[in-house]
Structure 1
Amino acid sequence: MIQVSKLSKYYGGKRALGPVSFEIDKGETVGFLGLNGAGKTTALRILACDLRPSAGAVSVGGIDAVTDPHEVRKRIGFLPENPPLYPEMTVAAYLEFAADLRRVTRGDRAKLVGEAIEVTDLSDVSADPIGTLSHGFRQRVGLAQAIVHKPALVILDEPTRGLDPKQIVEMRKLIHGLKDRHTVLISSHILAEVSQTCDRLLVLGQGRILGAGTEAELAAHEGNVKLVSITVRVPPAASGEPYRDGEVDARKRITSVLSRIDGVTEVGEPQSRGDGWAVSVTSAKDLRAEISRAVVQAGLELLKLDYARSELENTFLRLVDTGAAAEAA
């Protein structure tokens, strides 16, 4: 569906993107994941034929996006970070206008506008001026204009930016509904978003692709590091006196217990939390059972144990750190 080869974009002498190469198959939902300034929006704008690359090749459905951008635009729907909406127009009138811009024939226009309104759940507000809608509904209108002409490829740049938690869940459901009809490319810096909506990820940093694959593939490639957060309490001594020859001794005891567990690679500095101590433990595999057992056997009280970060977050941060180090070298 999409073939990108050695794509680059420079602004003056400053590199914003590239060189990057990747392919996306028909029917996939792929996420561009990266920090702000990683090159995500630049890449999407080039794919949407909204920006010319400085070098490299891009084809969509076998059509060269550089030499024949008008033909490619017919096959693409684009929801930019700030959708081009007209607040004085009603939802239905705006979508009619968007369909006309995309050369939808007059005979098909009413049908496709109706379908876009139904898919994005805008029926109740279709006669309302866009300027009277909430941000969440305006974002739906932006999504509707991106799919009104039934494009093969839908590109979404930060589709949940500025939405509240309820609106994010609703937008996520709408995006899931696109999978059966379109190839979807989503840009986001929100890890949960791409994790829950995408089949495959492309991690960008410093304008380059730092990793590509499913969430599991990326984690396996980077090394499946686990970061566990626990809270423990040092109980009173047998005499009833608190076990506190001082905070230094309590920290040493906790650190000593956790460091001796086979497979633990790093123990963070214990931090006082009320009547307990919070500490992070890093390992190459899941050691939650071993940590629980060691804490209890050492006479400490385990108050809380959980992953400090998701697997995707661990992987993403390692990729970004590695990419930044390589760029600086």
Structure 2
Amino acid sequence: MISVEHLTKCYGDFTAVDDLSFEIGEGHVYGFLGPNGAGKSTTMNIMTGCLSATAGHVRIDGYDIFDEPDKAKKLIGYLPEHPPLYMNETPLEYLTFVGEAKGLRGEELNRQIDTVIGLTKIEHMKHRRISALSKGYQQRVGIAQALLGNPKVIILDEPTVGLDPIQIIEIRDLIKELGKTHTVIFSSHILSEVQAICDQILMIAHGKLVAFDDPQKLEKTLLSSNEITLTTDATEDELREILSSVDHITEVTTGIVAEKWTVARIKTDHNNIYDLSRDVFLAFTKSKNVILEMSLKKGTLEDIFIELSEVEPDTQVATHDETHESEVEEA
């Protein structure tokens, strides 16, 4: 459905998007996740034909956005981070204008306006001035205009920015509903948002794709985010000797508290931290030492996001969902 190949955008000496490549299939909701300044909006502006690229290609259902813009853009509905709303118009007037700009006329225009008003639940607001609507309803109007023309792809740039918690939930529910009939791509820097909505997540940092997978698999990607913290009466040397018999331990950091107890942070690549804690406990039962306290920290998507977004471009870590083709540069 969407193919991005070696996409690059430079502003002088600064590279905002750096050799970005990925494939997106038809249907479902895709989250474009990254910290502010990661290159999300720049990439979306290029994908929608609103911004030229320094190099690379974007194809929408086979149509190149640069070589065949008219055909490609007909397949896209776009909501920029700041919706291009006419505040002195009503939603009905605004949607009529946008529909006509997209080539809709007569009964078909009225039918599609009724459909998008129903989908976005703005029926009772359609005759009010847009300037009088809440931020949440203004976003709904922006999404409604993106849906006109029945595009296959809906691209939403930070659609929940500035909304209150109730409005965020409402927009999330709307995006999930749209994902049943469209390919939806939306950008966010809010981790809980993409976990709640997305079927697939693309993580971007420093203009590069650093991960492409579903939320559950991403949580398993960097298993080193899992760790055990324990306090023991063993010395640091005794502790390391005990742990040497336990598999899947990748790093042990130790320190002394109260001048006599050893505290250890144990990192692992084990896919089940609870099984590992059992193995650690069993190893201690075979020694003369005891565990005074043990706690487990299970890695989350937030841990992955923080680690990946802090990685410099030449040392980045990437994952690949086997059901999707994504191209990630490793330096």
Corresponding position of 1:205: 205
Partner of 1:67, secondary structure, is: coil
Identity %: 35
Q: How does 1:183-198 map to 2 (within 5 A)?
A: 183-198=183-198
Q: Aligned match of 1:319 in 290, 293, 308?
A: 308
Whether the aligned pair in 2 keeps the contact of 1:30 and 1:201 (CA below 8 Å) is yes
Change beyond 3 A, Cα 1:254–1:91: farther
1:110 aligns with 2:110: yes
The offset of 1:323, in angstroms, is: 3.8
Cα offset, 1:171, TM superposition: 0.8
**Structure 2 equivalent of residue 24 of structure 1:** 24
Paired residue secondary structure (2:145): helix
- Which residue type is aligned with residue 64 of structure 1? D
In the alignment, the residues of structure 2 paired with residue 146 and residue 181 of structure 1 have an alpha-carbon distance, to the nearest angstrom, of 14
The structural deviation recorded for 1:264 is 5.7
- Give 1:59's aligned amino acid: R
Number of aligned positions between the proteins: 300
Deviation at 1:13, TM superposition (A): 2.9
The answer as to 2:110 corresponding to 1:124 is: no
Q: Aligned partners of 2:268 and 2:175: how far apart in 1?
A: 35
2:131 counterpart SS class: helix
Q: Which residue of 1 is the match for residue 273 of structure 2?
A: 287
Within 5 Å, give how 1:147-166 maps onto structure 2: 147-166=147-166
Q: CA deviation at 1:228?
A: 5.6
Partner of 1:192, secondary structure, is helix
Q: How far apart, in 2, do the equivalents of 1:115 and 1:255 lie?
A: 70
Give the Å deviation of 1:229: 8.4
Aligned to 1:236: none
The 1:212/1:124 distance shift into structure 2, 3 A limit, reads: same
1:225 is paired with a residue whose SS is: helix
Partner of 1:68: 68
Indicate conservation of the 8 Å contact 1:210/1:323, yes or no. Answer: no
Cα distance in 2 between the residues matched to 1:195 and 1:213? 12
- 1:225 equivalent to 2:224? Answer yes
Matched, 1:14 2:14: yes
Establish whether residue 2 from structure 1 lines up as the match of residue 8 from structure 2: no
CA contact (8 A) 2:232 2:293 kept: no
Work out whether residues 2 and 24 of structure 2, in 8 Å CA contact, stay in contact via their aligned partners in 1.
yes
Between the aligned partners of 2:129 and 2:235, the Cα distance in structure 1 is 61
Q: Would you say the 8 A contact 2:9–2:54 is kept in 1?
A: yes
Unaligned runs of 5+ in 1: 233-250, 273-277
Normalised by the length of structure 2, the TM-score is 0.78
RMSD of aligned residue pairs (Cα, Å): 3.3
CA deviation profile, 1:116-170 (whole Å, cap 9, x unmatched): 1110111121111111111111111111111122111100111111122211111
1:37 to 2:43 alignment: no
Q: 1:15-69: per-residue Cα shift (whole Å, max 9, x none)?
A: 1112111111111322211111111111100111101111111111121110222
CA 96–287 in structure 1, closer or farther in 2 if over 3 Å, else same: same
Shift of 1:94: 1.2
Instruction: Report what 1:140 is aligned to.
Output: 140
Aligned-pair CA distance for 1:287: 3.3
CA–CA separation in structure 2 for the residues paired with 1:325 and 1:168:
36
CA contact (8 A) 1:7 1:57 kept: yes
Q: Against the structure 1 CA distance between its residues 287 and 229, is the aligned structure 2 distance closer, same or farther, given a 3 Å change threshold?
A: closer
Equivalence for 1:91? 91
